[in-house]
Amino acid sequence: MRQAPHHNDFNVLIPARMASSRLPNKPLADIAGLPMVVRVAQRAMLSQARQVVVAADDERIVAACEAHGVQALLTRQDHVSGSDRLAEACQLLGLSDEAVVVNVQGDEPLMEPSLIDQVAQLLSERPEASMSTAAHPISQLADFCNPNVVKVVTDARQMALYFSRAPIPWWRDGQSATYPSGAQFTELPSPAPLRHVGIYAYRAGFLAEFPQLPPAPIEQMESLEQLRALWHGHRIAVHTTELAPGPGVDTPEDLQRVRALLGA
């Protein structure tokens, strides 16, 4: 019988693209004297990962990383998604199909290192899962109703049943009297619904296979790539953390918020 991998036998890959519509040259945005992608990598280095590698699409990102002692690879510019970029990085690094890879987004400079460890460990413990990810309980009604806050519903074994921008699970009795024409939740359901946190662990073999899977109708409708895995019958294990993640950086306003938090 195959031995379970040692709990810290995993790799962190950080995809970083220069082209960002809302924040130009986002990976190199200065946060307290360091490029954002370097901040993300330094957070990831505090995890138990065997190695932390930035998968970049531009020489300037590679140079910025190397200037601060962060390992970086130059990947092709024409990848349609982050998972394609990670699959190429796995090839370039010569990782085995069984190797566990954690995808930390390049715009998460406040990522909790312990969360990286927990997501990697969960995948190692769940051979039936192709991926693992994280979620935390929602405490604000506005977040539950916000389509930019992705929700996940899990089963008894912490496996994802569905991810959606809609408020799920839908609380039948939680609306005001105007339902169905103007359904409006007045409080949060109990137990608290779960917000999906965009960190993933995969095995390198699945990463190579995933971009070849045909896109799924639900993936395109919700604009959530992880739904492709569920659509094709893959299981996603979900680690629930009580810690709400720090804000990611998508817009100039987000950047100011993170700079303030890091004392820049």
**Domains in the chain: ranges and CATH:** 10-261 (3.90.550.10)
Provide CB contacts within 8 A for 122, sequence distance 6+: 129, 132, 158, 201, 237, 239
Q: Which two tokens stand for residue 50?
A: 């065997």
CA–CA separation, 188 vs 146, rounded Å? Answer: 13
Higher-confidence residue of 228 and 18: namely 228
pLDDT at 1: 44
Report pLDDT digits (tens) over 7-22. 568 999 999 998 777 7
Provide CB contacts within 8 A for 160, sequence distance 6+: 133, 152, 153, 154, 226, 230, 235, 236, 237, 238
pLDDT at 82: 79
Report pLDDT digits (tens) over 29-62. 999 999 999 999 999 999 999 999 999 999 999 9
Whether the predicted model's global pTM rises above the 0.75 cut: yes
Residue at 143: amino acid letter: D
